[in-house]
Amino acid sequence: MPLQQRFLIFGVAVVLMLAIFELVRKRRLREEYAWLWLLAGVVILIATFVPMEGLRAVANIMGSSNPPAAIFFLGFCATTFLCLQFSVRLSRMTEQIKNLGQKVSILEASLEDHKDEVE
């Protein structure tokens, strides 16, 4: 991989990690999600130092003769796992919101019944 590409990838990884820290600092991203993105930034950062022979070896292990295709496949897999993890979180939160809405409705009905008894 040419040195210019390595510098570009390194720069993108550093900018990504700084952006994650800034989003956490401004409370726009929770810490529980930040570690996933920081991990992605570290992996990208490490990838800049892997020699081309190492990338070829990874591609060969995966059964590919094209290192960029293997890297894109690994990136696709990582993105898919991130989407799956966020879908699980979203499903859990949707269920919690539904339960909270039902409990609030029950409490409001109970409060109205109590008001009617007092009057």
With bands split at pLDDT 50, 70 and 90, how would you rate the model's confidence at 110? very high
Cα angle, residue 9 at apex, residues 63 and 80 outer, rounded to 5°: 50
Question: 3-state DSSP call for residue 100?
Answer: helix
Q: Are 47 and 70 in contact (CB under 8 A)?
A: no
- What gap in Å lies between CA 49 and CA 44, rounded to an integer? 9
Question: 0.75 cut: is pTM over it?
Answer: no
With bands split at pLDDT 50, 70 and 90, how would you rate the model's confidence at 75? confident
Averaged confidence pLDDT in the chain: 90
